[in-house]
Structure 1
Amino acid sequence: MRWAVGIGVGWLAVFAILLVIAQVHPSTVLVDVPYLVPIVAAVGLSGAAAWVTRGRTRVAWVLLAISNALWLTGEVVWVYYTYVLQRGPPAVSAADFFYLSSYVVAIPAILVGIGSSGHLRHVRGLLDAGLLALGLGTIGWQVAISPSLPQSPRLADFVAFAYPLFGVAIVTTLAAVGLAGRHRLPAWGVLVGAGFAVAGVTDAVYAYTIAAQNINSNWINVGWQVEAVLFGLAAVAAIRRPEPEARERTRSRDLTAVPLTIAALAAIGLLVADRVDQGPITGGMLVILLALFAGLLSRQLLIIRDRTRLATQLRASLREQERLAITDGLTGVYNRRFFQEMLRIEAERADRTDTPLSVVLLDLDEFKKVNDGYGHPAGDAVLAQIADRIRGSVRASDIVARYGGEEFGCLLPGVNEEVAVEIAEQIRQSISRSEVAVGQGRNVRLTSSLGVATGGTRDSHPLADPDGLVNEADAALYRAKATGRNRVVAAGMLVDPVYADPDLPPGLVWLADRIDAQLSTHEHSTAVSRWSMLVAERLGLDMATLRRVAAAGRLHDIGKVTVADAVLRKALPLTAGEWEQLRRHPDESARLLTDLGGRPDLAAVVAAHHERFDGTGYPRGLAGTGIPIEARIVTVTDAWAAMLADRPYSPPLTVAQARAEIERCRGTQFDPAVADVFLDLVTEGLIGDLAEPARA
């Protein structure tokens, strides 16, 4: 750059010396031929800048190279007229066309190279530049140019004054770029702007000399030489000093008023001048006025559009901020703060409308192993997938939140305890039913423990203390963890169906699980226990019966321990002896409960769970109400679980097929009242699918 500046300054000094010599020894060749040297250099350097630069800067330099080439072409045409045709160019010639075209191409070069990247900002910048140029040109015309014109101005006068007007347009384009909010102009942009500023002043002086019929001075050529030198330096700066594209900056104040004010003043000036002259408005003046008013109107429309867009963006930003304030960024569900606020609101609404409100707390079992074994990013991905499964198991109106770490909370307005337990069971099954991805093609199977608490109903937690409701759900969750994980525990009436009776013998529970595992890969006795309790609750039975039916459902098949494995797993029809052995298992279950479990109160129930309502069942042929109600309930739920399971002797049925079988046997094998209640629960979606056996 130092060498380029030195060469440029040196050339200007040489050109000045040539001008002095030309005055002493008059010779146009001595000035005109060297005059082309910096212009040719500017064209070559502009082409080089267009070759080495990139992006929008390259596009700008391609246009500037074209602009400089047009300028050089105009000069060549002028030289052709002077030295080939041996006569000066006409007042308005082809050279003027190329000169003015170079200005026209330069304006988009500036807007592309250092203007805004946004289309709308380009429009605003161009409009601002146009308003500034037209406004300043109009004011200049009124103040300086018009008084200097002869009574009958020639076309050459107007063409001559077009040059400074284009110079003003380019300088104001640079000003408009600044008004559009650029971070800073690149060095080459500053040099290009300086070149056009010098050109504008030089063109203005030339226009006055044309109007004054005085074009003898060659010193005016120094201005255009300075312009060419500055363009060459700008190209060198673009080649040798690569700079990032200009960035937009946030403006502390709105400068749009600058071009608008100038344009408005110009329009007012035209009208005032017309009133002073008392003459008709000329066609040219009318065009200028219309252009000014159209520009002002268009700019105002853009301002309105800008402010509307900004207001829309602000509203969207506020909505996003509100969403982020209540949303967990990792899982996309609500956060704990929002959950607690909605708990308070829903508790007040439930208390006011006398409706129930349930809370479900969920914790992933042994989740630390995922983080330790696969890394925390994998753990984060798992949490997001679990959140999706939870949302898919509840209603759209329910609140799902990440309560902490690997713990989630669900707020279920209007849901009583029995439905909340079934929803929690659906969530548990959706998590344990299939594996979740941890990345890199690896999957892991997870289970969860859930605690349920309900308020707003008889014998439930008072809604005046919603935090206490959460505490009860948390305590139920702790019980689920303590009793083996992968289970649902309710804090109130519907206590854990698996451990519905705290005195249930653990050894017999283990035996029930072992028998279930022998017969199927899915749960059986746990589902029978859970569904039996739901049916008993729907029938309006008392708490003691609820506990008894849940316990009986859990242990109804323990007598099968006395049946040979070959019989239990046999796929072909059983022989008479094998049937006799299998039919003894209800009595064996009763015996084990009496002798080993100390629970004779359950013996009568499990002994009768294969009795049929029409009296054709076994082992004693009981019928109707002679069968304990608990046994009649277990008969239905046991049959449903068996039909849905894949047993050695029978493939699983679909829900529709199993439902048809319950309806077919209503009144024969099953108590009609119990069957109807059970099918109602199926219709309501409260009887879920069979899950895989729980793993501690």
Structure 2
Amino acid sequence: MPAPSWRRAWRSHVWLVYLCLGLIAILVYGQFPTTGGPRAVRLVIYLCLSASAAGAVFLGLRRQELADRRPWLLIGISQVMYAIGDGAFYIFHYVLDITEYPALPDVLYLGHYPLFVVGLVLLTRRRTQERDIAGLLDGSMFLLAAVLLSWLYLIAPQVRADHDLFVGVTSVAYPAMDLALLGVAIRLVLGHGSRPPAFFLLAGNLLANLTADTIYVVQQTNGTFEVGNYLDAIWLTGNLALGAAGLHPTMVDLTRPASPRAQARSGRRLVALSSAGLVAPTVLAVQVIRGDLRDLLVAVAVSAIMMILIIVRMAGLEADQRRLAITDGLTGLRTRRYLETEMRLAAGRVRRTGSGMGLILVDVDHFKSVNDRFGHPAGDQVLTEVARRLLVVTRPGDVVARYGGEEFALLTLNVRGDALADIAERLRRGVGREPVRIVLPAPRVPDPPARTGESGAAGSAEPTRARGQARSGAGVRGDTGEESLLIAVTVSVGAAALPDHADDTFALVAAADRALYAAKAAGRDRVAVGSARPGHDVGGHDVGGHDVGGHDVGGHDVGGHDVGGHDVGERVGSSRQPPAPDAVSAVVSRRTRW
């Protein structure tokens, strides 16, 4: 039985109620003095707020159905240890009057850090499952700047101070643990994934704790720290932010894997990276001006490492830009520009070695009807699947590219004659071996009209109902309202080889395009191979001087000459009138289907 509406509303806003009540409690906490009888009320408020954050996290774990509970479980346990440390600290100071440093509370405080850090690492890995080298490098630069500042102003003074061993180790352990927490926090912020309200609440907890911890170490170093000062308000606010994150309904979104995407490089991020890169040389200059050269080597080392990271980062950006420039954004295949560059390089090798190369053009039959009937998103799904199938059946070293629109191209090396026709046929069969499944969003797409055109076309064939059901436009609707359809997809293929069918790359493209056009004019779902140039043996059968994949064509020319009174040899890209199907069907082979 579903929960009443008032209960659902309460659950969705309980985090806000918790946060508001907690802030009011912090204001009340500040009104009580740190000495005298009323400090007991102050102590109770502090401990209740600290423990409430752990309780809120565990309550959120109970209410939410998380795919991976480990990150929040570790964070909750760390907060329990932190709350116990708070209790021990105030009991030691106010009840037992023990002010020794370090003591049991410091062990509990330091012990909560590893649990929190591991929880954040698991959360970050859950959200960002793909490799993010750019984010890792950016985070390393921010962390290096923080390490340098922490060493100069927090850690080094403690190391050089005349402390007892345990005092020195504890004083160094606090900033060291904060640096570890800062490192994973930076990785979480710079990583992929959604950023719901729970994300910002968790980030607020990290910011408050790191800020208060840093000020605490500075005050301990200067001897100005007093129990119950304004740092308590910062720590308590951080605890409230953590509890609110655990109670927020979007807590579950933080553990969901992020979809792969290209991370945006905002202007703020570039400014922050530039500032981080300037920290080391600025500190180095300040140290030299002050005449304090004790940490000169540390500043120089950090500057050198920072410079290396910047160089690696720039090299990565250059590689990303080049990859994006040669990769089609939809299909992941190479772009036409990349294909044309590779063709020119391969043609040079062919002329030097006397080998051969082939160009195969693949066009999805009746693709426009797919877009018209099912929408462009469905057409994109078809193109993506066709690209995947082409990659499956191609040889290593072949270049598969999206040539334009619904047209693909394959550049294959060291092939001539019948071998080229066999490769082209393998591509045609690989694409058309089974229907393509497309997913249509709700609402349901109306049943398509009955076919009036020719059969065997990708868009004109009736969609096949998934899971073996009757052929219908209704398809199968999922729980989310999406509809799954199976569409028969076929391709027409035209191929030509260098030097058999052309003497340069421009003529090669024209020959392959004429063959493709002849295959489409003959009924589609066919393979056509360009005609051989005089004096070139392409390794096929004798077909009156023209080879179209090993079949007798009765002397018809599909290589750019007159076919039954119709010219199919105009230049690529020009306006061409289709030849009569009965005049071309005899010159194009349709291989037997699998």
Which TM-score band applies after superposition, normalised by the shorter structure?
0.5 to 0.7
Q: Report what 1:358 is aligned to.
A: 358
Alignment of structure 1 residues 371-520 onto 2, 5 Å: 371-439=371-439, 441=467, 442-457=485-500, 460-463=501-504, 466-493=505-532
Match among 542, 557, 560 for residue 536 of structure 1: 542
Alignment partners' CA distance in 2, 1:485 and 1:117: 56
Paired letter, 2:51? G
Give the Cα separation in 1 of the matches to 2:391 and 2:175: 61
Task: Tell me, in whole angstroms, the C-alpha distance in 1 between the residues paired with 2:506 and 2:293.
Answer: 76
What is the rounded CA distance, in whole Å, between the counterparts of 1:378 and 1:407 in structure 2? 16
Q: Is the 8 A contact 1:371 1:379 kept in 2?
A: yes
Is 1:330 equivalent to 2:330 in the alignment?
Answer: yes
Deviation (angstroms), 1:328: 2.3
- Cα gap change, 1:201/1:326 in structure 2, threshold over 3 Å: closer, same or farther? closer
Q: 2:158·2:221 contact (CA, 8 Å) conserved in 1?
A: no
**CA distance in structure 2 between the partners assigned to 1:482 and 1:230 by the alignment:** 80
Query: Aligned partners of 2:217, 2:38: CA distance in 1, in Å?
Result: 23
Task: Determine if contact 2:281/2:303 at 8 Å carries over to the other structure.
Answer: no
Match of 2:240 in 1: 239
2:341: which partner in 1? 341
Q: Which has the higher Rg, Structure 1 or Structure 2?
A: 1
Please state how far the C-alpha of 1:243 moved relative to its aligned partner.
Answer: 7.2
Return the letter of the residue paired with 2:232: F
Which residue matches 1:106? 109
- Provide the TM-score with structure 1 as the length reference: 0.47
Structure 2 CA distance, aligned partners of 1:388 and 1:168?
55
Counterpart in the other structure of 2:592: 691
Pairwise CA distance, 1:350: 2.0
- Structure 1 residues 243-252 or 355-364, which shifts more? 243-252
Look up the match of 1:196: 216
Matches of 2:361 and 2:89, distance apart in 1: 79
Cα shift readout 1:42-76 (whole Å, capped 9, x = no counterpart): 23332223323575875564343222222233236
- The Cα RMSD (Å) is 5.7
Measured in 2, the distance between the counterparts of 1:2 and 1:428 equals 68
Whole-angstrom distance in 1 between the partners of 2:293 and 2:554: 102
Q: Deviations over 1:28-53 (max 9, x none)?
A: xxx5x556553444233322233235
Q: How does 1:85-100 map to 2 (within 5 A)?
A: 95-96=98-99, 100=103
Give 2:32's aligned residue.
11
2:154/2:217 contact within 8 Å kept: no
Aligned pairs (5 A) from 1:570-589 = none
Match of 1:135 in 2: 156
What CA distance in whole angstroms lies between the structure 1 residues aligned with 2:56 and 2:183? Answer: 29
Query: Which residue in 2 is equivalent to 1:66?
Result: 84
Q: Cα distance 1:252–1:107, how it changes in 2: closer, same or farther (>3 A)?
A: farther
- Say if 2:529 and 2:547, in contact at 8 Å, map to a contact too: no
Structure 2 partner of 1:253: 276
The change in CA–CA distance for 1:198 and 1:37 in structure 2 (over 3 A counts) is farther
**Cα distance in 2 for residues equivalent to 1:237 and 1:551:** 81
SS at match of 1:453: strand
Question: 5+ residue gaps in structure 1?
Answer: 16-30, 80-94, 146-157, 206-222, 272-291, 496-530, 555-687
* Amino acid aligned to 1:252: S
Q: Distance in 2 between matches of 1:225 and 1:545?
A: 93
* Cα shift at 1:337: 1.1
How far is the alpha carbon of 1:394 from its aligned partner? 4.2
SS at 1:691 equivalent? coil
Q: CA deviation at 1:193?
A: 4.4
Q: Deviations over 1:501-538 (max 9, x none)?
A: xxxxxxxxxxxxxxxxxxxxxxxxxxxxxx9x93437x
Q: CA deviation at 1:397?
A: 2.8
- Secondary structure in 2 matching 1:358: strand
- In structure 2, do the counterparts of structure 1 residues 72 and 451 end up closer, same or farther at CA, with 3 Å as the change threshold? closer
Moved more, 472-481 or 383-392: 383-392
TM-score, normalised via structure 2 length: 0.54
Q: 3-state DSSP class of the match of 2:494?
A: strand
Q: Secondary structure at the match of 1:396?
A: coil
**Counterpart contact for 1:116–1:177, Cα < 8 Å:** no
Q: CA deviation at 1:691?
A: 1.0
The answer for the alignment partner of 1:577 in structure 2 is: none
User: How big is the shift at 1:551?
Assistant: 4.8
**3-state DSSP class of the match of 1:543?**
coil
- Range with greater deviation from structure 2 (301-310 or 231-240): 301-310
The one-character-per-residue Cα deviations of 1:385-442 (angstroms, maximum 9, x if unpaired) are: 3334434444323322211121112223333344323432333344444433335554
Greater helix share, structure number: 1
Question: The residue matched to 2:540 in structure 1 has which SS?
Answer: helix
Higher relative CO (CA 8 A, sep ≥ 6), structure 1 or 2? Answer: 2
State how far apart, in whole Å, the 2-side matches of 1:544 and 1:468 are.
Answer: 16
The structure-2 alpha-carbon separation of the partners of 1:487 and 1:544, relative to structure 1 and needing over 3 Å to count, comes to: closer
Q: Is the 8 A contact 1:403 1:409 kept in 2?
A: yes
Query: Which residue is 2:459 aligned to?
Result: none
Counterparts of 1:198 and 1:433 in 2: how far apart (Å)?
Answer: 71
2:540 is aligned with what amino acid?
Answer: L
| Offset at residue 3 of structure 1 (A) | 5.3
Letter aligned with residue 231 of structure 1: D
Between the aligned partners of 1:270 and 1:454, the Cα distance in structure 2 is: 71
Q: Which residue of 2 aligns with 1:220?
A: none
> What's 1:679 paired with?
none
- Structure 1 residues 138 and 337, CA gap change in structure 2 (3 angstroms): closer
Who is 1:656 aligned against? none
SS at match of 1:361: strand
For the residue of structure 2 that corresponds to 1:70, the secondary structure is helix
Confirm or deny: 8 A CA contact 1:418 1:534 kept in the other structure: yes
Deviations 1:150-186 (A, max 9, x none): xxxxxxxx69x959x9679757976997799868865
Cα distance in 1 for partners of 2:118, 2:431 equals: 55
The alpha-carbon deviation at position 344 of structure 1 amounts to: 1.7
1:47 counterpart residue number: 51
Once residues 44 and 550 of structure 2 are traced to their aligned partners in structure 1, the CA distance between those partners, rounded to angstroms, is 105
In 2, are the aligned partners of 1:398 and 1:412 still within 8 Å (CA)?
yes
Give the C-alpha shift of residue 365 in structure 1.
1.8
Structure 2 matches for 1:117-136, cutoff 5 A?
117=120, 132-136=153-157
**2:488 alignment partner AA:** R
- Rounded to whole Å, the distance in 1 between the matches of 2:176 and 2:281 is 11
Counterparts in 2 of 1:161-240, with a 5 A limit? 162=167, 188-189=208-209, 192-193=212-213, 196=216, 200=220, 204=223, 224=226, 226-227=228-229, 230-231=231-232, 234-235=235-236, 238-239=239-240
- Classify 1:384/1:546 alpha carbon distance in 2 versus 1 (closer, same or farther; 3 Å): closer
**Partner Cα distance (2:244, 2:32) in 1:** 27
CA distance in 2, matches of 1:193, 1:546: 78
Residue 356 of structure 2 aligns with an amino acid whose one-letter code is P
Contact 1:330–1:384 (8 Å) recurs in 2? yes
